[in-house]
Structure 1
Amino acid sequence: MTDRLVLVTGGTGFIAQHCMLVLLNAGYRVRTTVRSLEREAEVRQHLKVGGVDAGDRLSFVVANLTEDRGWAEAAAGCDYVMHGASPTPSGDQIREEDWIEPAVNGNLRVLRAARDAGVKRVVLTSAFGAIGVGHRPDHRRPFDETDWSDLSGNVAPYQKSKTLSERASWDFIAREGNGLELTSVNPVTVYGPALGADYSHSIRLITNMLNGQPGCLNVNSCCVDVRDVADLHLRAMIDPAARGERFLATVGESMWMIEVAELLKQRLGKAAEKVSTEVWPDEQVRIAGETNPQLKAVVPLLDYDMNATGKKAERLLGWAPRSREEAIISCAESLIQLGLLNG
């Protein structure tokens, strides 16, 4: 057991909750931020689903990425910070700035609070969206941590916000970090076990398939299990070799959505009977994207090779992630077990 205290921002988030599970299991005390204390019971219940009754080893502070209030209190006395709170696709964002401003300013708020509180290291949950989008088709593959998304290309606002907020974080550390260390973890599509009904937009991809979504988009991505993303956060937090480094959280080759659909049907049998293995024509998606914001964000990714490698984390930090197949199937099984599917 350790008495060290770690702040995990955005405690209602899917990755954040799995990070809390890893930390609590490793003996750390955890403080987490929420926008409302009304969600404390829900977060504690999700952790119980994950096998941990946190008790008084978990505490809550109200803090919002768009306000200074609460962040000094949140960071006070903490040895480390895992910062994953970020605006995600909710449908509320209208202008590009609605994505970018809270992401950039939120990161800077957390970094300032961490620096001022004497925190040793911040592990930033960034994204593949800061690495592998907007590039020309002839860009070398697979993507690795030396790559940054090309914002002069066709980049959706969410990926743009991830790129600009991570860049702003590294710039802050270089200019005014005052000894604060930074490491980033850049996950690809994150699957693995859901803990409750409030899950990530990546898990919604599996939910939609199992609920009978009519067809698959012609897109591919690498994937990773959320338990391994959390494990990588812990390694990035404590290993001296991780200081100042970026780590892609990904395993294996990228998969087309049709391959994910076929895997679900093959492994789940009757539970996957509604899964479609038809592929939507690209032109149909482009037309629908003119009036559907969610599909519009997908259009730049149609038929775009998103292969990436996680070998750096394996080599430097001894990270040993589960297979793509286990990440996908464990995700689907958790949705079934928790009763989160239609019908």
Structure 2
Amino acid sequence: MSMSSEKRVLVTGISGFLGGYVAAALLKRGYSIRGSIRDPARASQVRESFRAAGADITRLELCVLDLLDDRGWAEAAEGCRYLHHVASPFVLTMPKDEDALIRPAVEGTRRAIRAGLEAGHERIVLTSSVVAIDGGHVSYGRPFTTHDWTRVDGPHVNAYHKSKTLAEQQAWRLVDSEGARQKLAVINPGTMLGPLLDDDPGTSVAIIQRLLKGEMAMIPNLIFPYVDVRDVADAHVAAMETAEAGGQRHIVANNGVPLADIARMLREGFPEHAERIPARRMPAWMARVVALFNKSLRDNLSRLDVPRSYDVSSGLQLLGRPLRPTHEAVVASARSLLERGLA
């Protein structure tokens, strides 16, 4: 292996929230990055966001990859030692055709894993999600572990849950078929919050944006497991560098927090905006009625009134420290939105 490839890492989806943080963390540790974007017109914007974040962009190279197109994957993987496959579609309102989410997630994962294996990458780190673990179950009275899988035919399992579950299962099948299970490490994060790297709030931080803007008259009791994006990025780096991380899933998430508690954190943390941040809770019966007419709420009924907890020992062992508390991630998201004039 040449010295040029010794420290080069392919990171897919580098223009996304997590992809940007993974690349930035790797740059800080001295790696060179080949980052994939889907739209070449975004290249200068991506470089500028890294420059503004203080990253050394002389070690940043961009390439164009499409999750649904074979072209370029072998070339992108060539000359790299590691792969982080972060790119995958993420929405809160599901498309009419669930394959619009499932196909790019599953086929993109297949292309990425195959490219990494064929290029001889030492470690492949896949971004999955807790939704590949905790969906479609009948009982939620125990902590979910890395041995649990979402039942894709279970109740209230939406297209996003299916996309992450089927994509991760595809990844494990591929490495197992090549006798290369130890090459793959999977990170299963919760809903990611934290400071923005650019002016795109993405999907998860948009929840904080809506609360700050007062766009909800009442708050449904949606309970999500949140995590700071910086912790998830650090977990990706650790999964790449730690030999023992291979062949395993790693849950990186705090336990579920009701949306009303998130709103309270915002009111307490930003009292000058407290008047517009909703405080009224929506009763469960009303939420189910509203869901008949509100697709976003209907698509997330699995999170209504259902607290979930997780055995996060694998993620904590990987990081070697506690996760940032949800409150810290919420405040960091809000501060970033306000500083950028996005809320």
Shift of residue 29, structure 1, vs aligned partner: 0.3
| 1:128-147 residue CA offsets vs partner (Å, 9 max, x unmatched) | 110111111x3442222111
Q: Trace 1:56-67 onto structure 2 (pairs within 5 A).
A: 56-67=58-69
1:241 & 1:319 partners in 2: Cα distance? 17
Deviations 1:259-301 (A, max 9, x none): 1111111111103431101122333333333343322211222
Structure 1 residues 85-94 or 331-340, which shifts more? Answer: 85-94
- SS of the residue corresponding to residue 124 of structure 1 reads strand
The answer to which of 321-330 and 63-72 deviates more is 321-330
Counterpart position of 2:144: 143
Alpha-carbon distance in structure 1 between the residues aligned to 2:337 and 2:54: 16
**Segments of 4+ in structure 1 off by > 4 A?**
177-180
1:23 equivalent in structure 2: 26
Q: Secondary structure at the match of 1:334?
A: helix
2:32–2:60 Cα contact (<8 Å) kept: yes
- 1:215 Cα offset (Å): 2.1
Q: In structure 1, what is the equivalent of residue 249 of structure 2? A: 246
What SS does structure 2 have at the residue aligned with 1:308? Answer: coil
Which residue does the alignment assign to 2:130? 128
Contact kept? 2:94, 2:158, Cα under 8 Å: no
* Counterpart position of 1:313: 315
State the match for 1:104 in structure 2.
106
CA drift of 1:333 comes to 0.4
Question: What is the root-mean-square deviation in Å for CA atoms of aligned residues?
Answer: 2.0
Task: After superposition, give the CA deviation of every residue in 1:187-224 in whole Å (9 maximum; x if it has no partner).
Answer: 10111111222233110110000000222221112211
- Aligned equivalent of 2:35: 32
Query: What is the CA deviation profile of residues 42-79 of structure 1, one whole-angstrom value per residue up to 9, with x for unaligned ones?
Result: 21222234332x33200111110000011111111111
Q: How does 1:174-193 map to 2 (within 5 A)?
A: 174-176=176-178, 178=180, 181-193=183-195
Take 1:323 and 1:49, find their aligned partners in 2: how far apart are those partners?
Answer: 26
Uncovered stretches (5+) of structure 1, i.e. residues with no partner = none
C-alpha separation between the residues in 2 aligned to 1:145 and 1:201? Answer: 25
Q: Measure, in 1, the Cα distance between the counterparts of 2:141 and 2:257.
A: 18
Cα distance 1:240–1:175, how it changes in 2: closer, same or farther (>3 A)?
Answer: same
CA distance in 1, matches of 2:93, 2:208: 19
- Matched residues in 2 for 1:49 and 1:329: separation? 21
TM-score by length of 2: 0.93
Q: C-alpha deviations, 1:222-246, integer Å up to 9, x for none?
A: 2111111100000001101101110
Instruction: Determine the C-alpha separation between the residues in 1 that align with 2:104 and 2:318.
Output: 32
Is contact 1:122–1:180 with CA below 8 Å preserved after alignment? no
Does the residue aligned with 1:33 lie in a helix, a strand or coil? strand
- Give distance in 2, aligned partners of 1:74 and 1:307: 38
* 1:42 corresponds to 2:45: yes
What TM-score comes out, normalization by structure 1 length?
0.93
> 2:143 corresponds to which letter in structure 1?
P
**Residues in 1 aligned to 2:221 and 2:102: alpha-carbon distance in whole angstroms:** 27
Deviations for 1:306-338, whole angstroms, at most 9, x for unmatched residues? 222322222355143222211110111011111
Identity %: 36
